[in-house]
C-alpha cells in the first residue's frame, strides 16, 4: 500500500496491508496479553503509559516531521500534535490507579462496584490528525486494562507504527497493542465485525459511523463515535472583531480546513459584518500556503486529489468574496476561501466540506443566531464572541454542541471531555470520561448473613 506525500504527490513509504483472515490470530494474541496486562499492578501499568509519553517526547521532532510530510500539516502544528499525544498518555497514566468503585448501602450485606476492562477493543482513526487522535483512543483503552487493535487511515498510517514501537519499548506485553493496515470497507469492516472485539472507537465521517453503529449493534458491541461537524461561530457586534477574525486562520484554515471542529459557519451580527469581512480579508491575504516543513507556513496541501476535487466542487459556482494564494505545480493545494453573501441552505453552508472554506452569514438578533446555528444535523463544536458575559453563558447553554468556547476557538483539551451532539457522534473522549468509557461496571454483593 503506497503512502503518498500530499505536498509532492510522490510515494513517501509503502506499508504491508493486513489480510482480514489474520484478525483471528491478532485478536487472540491481544486477548492473552490483555489478561497479563490487567493482572499487572496498577502502578506498573501507569508507569508503562508514562514511559510511552516519555518516548513520544524523546522523538518529538522526528515524529513531527513524519506527520507533517504524511498529512501535509505545517511542522509547527505537527509538533503540537505529537506533544498533545504525549500529554494524553501522561494524563491517562493516572487511570490504572484511580479507576475507583463504590460501596452501596443495601440490606443483608455489602454491595461493591468495580470498573472492569472490556477486553479487546478495535480503534479506527482518521487521516487528519493521526497520532493525536490515536492517542485519544489508545491511551484510555490501555489505561482501563484493555488490549488494542488499531487501524489507522490508509492515507496516514506512518506514525501509528512509531506509536506501537514506542509502546513495545515501554514494556507493553507482546500482542497487547497491534497496528493493522488496509481500507475501511475490507480491513476496517472485518475489525468491526470480529466477535472478539468488544468495543469500537471510531473517528471519521458520519456516514461510516452510522454503518459501524449498525454493525456493532448486531453483536451488542460498545461504541464511541466522533463524527462530522459543521461548527458555528457566533460573533456579536460588541465582540473583539480583530481577535475573532485573526483566530479563523487556525479555526477554519488550520490543517487546510480538514478538521471536524472547523468553524466553517461564521454568523456575524449585521452592524459588524463589513468591518469583520475586511479583517478576514487581511487574514486570508496574510495566510502563507506552502511547504509543510517550512516554519513560516500557515497552511499546507489537502490530503489527496480526491479531497481537493471535493472541496472545489463546493466552491465552484458559490459566491466567493475572497481567495488567498496557493502554490502551483505538484501538491494538492487549495487556497483559503471566504464565501459571502451566501444563504444558509447553500450546500457549502450546510455540508461538511473538510477544506479551507468559510461562509460568513449576517444575523440580527440573539434568538435568530441561536436558531440558525442549531439548524444543522451536526453538533460538535462552536464559539461565541461577545463582550457581554451574561449573554455568553446564555447563548452557550442554548447552542446544541458538545465542545464550545467563549471568545476563543480552543475547545479541545486533554483534561476535558470532547464529543458531539446529534449526528456528530456518541460518547466522549479525553478528560475523566475517556478511561471510564473503556470499562464495564461490575456489581458484587457480599452477604453478611444479617
**Domain at 232-413, CATH homologous superfamily:** Aldehyde Dehydrogenase; Chain A, domain 2 (3.40.309.10)
Going from the first residue of the chain to its last (450 residues), give the mean pLDDT of each consecutive group of 10, the final group possibly shorter.
97 96 98 98 98 98 98 98 98 95 94 97 98 98 98 97 97 98 96 98 97 97 97 98 98 97 98 98 98 98 98 98 95 98 98 98 98 98 98 98 97 94 97 95 93
pLDDT at 440: 97
Among 220, 162, 123, 209, CA closest to 434: 123
**What span, in angstroms and rounded, lies between the C-alpha atoms of 338 and 315?**
9
CA distances from 278 to 266, 325, 357, 425, 431 (A): 14, 17, 16, 35, 38
How many Å apart are CA 96 and CA 94, to the nearest integer? 6
This prediction's pTM: 0.96
pLDDT score at 411: 85
Q: ∠ CA 303-304-310 to the nearest 5 degrees?
A: 105
226 is a catalytic site residue = yes
Q: What is the 3-state secondary structure (H, E, C) of 308-351?
A: HHHHHHHHCCCCEEEECCCCCCCCCCCCCEEECCCCCCCHHHHC
Separation CA 406–CA 404 (nearest Å):
7
- Give residue limits of the domains in the chain: 2-227+424-447, 232-413
Q: Of the residues 5, 154, 226, 352, which is catalytic?
A: 226
Phi (first) and psi of residue 271, to 5 degrees: -60, -20
Tell me whether strands 109-117 and 439-447 are parallel, antiparallel or unpaired: antiparallel
CA distance linking residue 384 with residue 280, whole number of Å: 17
For residues 225 and 125, the answer to whether their CB atoms sit within 8 Å is no
Fold of 2-227+424-447: Aldehyde Dehydrogenase; Chain A, domain 1 (3.40.605)
The pLDDT, as a whole number, for residue 196 is: 98
Mark out the alpha helices in 255-411 (DSSP H runs).
273-285, 305-315, 347-350, 366-373, 389-398
Please provide residue 443's backbone torsions phi and psi, each rounded to the nearest 5 degrees.
-110, 130
**DSSP code for 145:** T
Among 351, 349, 380, smallest CA distance to 363 is for 349
Q: For residue 304, which of 271, 240, 237, 256 has the smallest C-alpha distance? A: 256
β-pair partners for 113: 443
Class of residue 43 by CB neighbours under 10 A (exposed 0-12, middle 13-18, buried 19+): exposed
Q: What is the pLDDT of residue 449?
A: 87
Torsion, CA 217, CA 218, CA 221, CA 227, rounded to 10? -40
Amino acid at each position: 500500500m503506497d503512502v503518498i506525500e500530499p505536498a509532492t504527490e510522490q510515494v513517501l513509504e509503502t506499508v504491508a496491508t493486513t489480510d482480514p483472515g489474520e484478525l483471528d490470530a491478532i485478536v487472540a494474541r491481544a486477548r492473552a496479553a490483555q489478561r497479563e496486562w490487567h493482572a499487572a499492578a496498577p502502578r506498573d501499568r501507569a508507569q508503562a503509559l508514562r514511559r510511552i509519553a516519555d518516548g513520544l517526547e524523546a522523538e518529538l521532532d522526528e515524529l513531527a516531521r513524519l506527520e507533517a510530510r504524511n498529512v501535509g500539516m505545517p511542522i509547527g502544528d505537527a509538533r503540537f500534535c505529537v506533544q498533545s499525544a504525549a500529554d494524553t498518555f501522561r494524563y491517562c497514566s493516572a487511570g490504572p490507579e484511580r479507576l475507583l468503585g463504590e460501596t452501596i448501602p443495601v440490606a443483608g450485606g455489602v454491595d461493591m462496584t468495580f470498573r472492569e476492562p472490556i477486553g479487546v477493543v478495535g480503534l479506527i482513526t482518521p487521516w487528519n490528525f493521526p497520532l493525536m487522535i490515536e492517542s485519544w483512543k489508545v491511551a484510555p483503552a490501555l489505561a482501563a486494562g484493555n488490549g488494542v487493535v488499531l487501524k489507522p487511515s490508509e492515507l496516514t498510517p506512518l506514525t501509528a507504527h512509531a506509536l506501537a514501537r514506542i509502546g513495545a519499548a515501554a514494556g507493553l506485553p507482546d500482542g497487547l497493542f497491534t497496528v493493522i493496515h488496509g481500507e475501511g470497507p475490507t480491513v476496517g469492516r472485518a475489525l468491526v465485525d470480529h466477535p472478539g472485539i468488544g468495543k469500537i472507537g471510531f473517528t471519521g465521517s458520519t456516514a461510516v459511523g452510522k454503518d459501524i453503529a449498525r454493525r456493532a449493534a448486531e453483536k451488542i458491541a460498545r461504541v464511541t463515535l466522533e463524527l462530522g461537524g459543521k461548527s458555528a461561530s457566533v460573533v456579536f457586534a460588541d465582540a473583539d472583531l480583530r481577535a475573532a477574525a485573526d483566530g479563523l486562520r487556525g479555526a477554519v484554515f488550520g490543517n487546510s480546513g480538514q478538521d471536524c471542529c472547523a468553524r466553517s459557519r461564521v454568523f456575524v451580527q449585521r452592524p459588524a459584518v463589513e468591518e469583520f469581512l475586511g479583517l478576514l480579508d487581511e487574514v486570508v491575504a496574510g495566510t502563507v500556503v506552502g511547504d509543510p516543513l517550512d516554519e513560516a507556513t500557515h497552511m499546507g496541501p489537502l490530503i489527496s486529489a480526491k479531497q481537493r476535487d471535493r472541496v472545489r466542487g463546493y466552491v465552484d459556482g458559490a459566491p466567493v468574496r475572497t481567495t488567498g494564494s496557493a502554490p502551483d505545480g505538484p501538491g494538492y493545494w487549495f487556497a483559503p476561501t471566504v464565501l459571502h453573501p451566501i444563504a444558509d441552505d447553500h450546500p457549502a453552508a450546510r455540508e461538511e466540506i473538510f477544506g479551507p472554506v468559510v461562509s460568513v452569514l449576517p444575523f440580527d438578533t440573539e434568538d435568530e443566531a441561536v436558531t440558525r446555528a442549531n439548524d444543522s444535523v451536526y453538533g460538535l463544536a462552536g464559539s461565541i464572541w461577545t463582550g457581554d458575559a451574561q449573554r455568553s453563558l446564555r447563548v452557550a447553554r442554548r447552542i446544541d454542541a458538545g465542545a464550545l468556547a467563549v471568545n476563543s476557538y480552543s475547545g479541545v483539551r486533554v483534561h476535558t471531555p470532547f464529543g458531539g451532539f446529534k449526528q456528530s457522534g456518541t460518547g466522549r473522549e479525553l478528560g475523566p470520561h475517556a478511561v471510564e468509557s473503556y470499562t464495564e461496571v461490575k456489581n458484587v454483593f457480599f452477604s453478611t448473613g444479617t
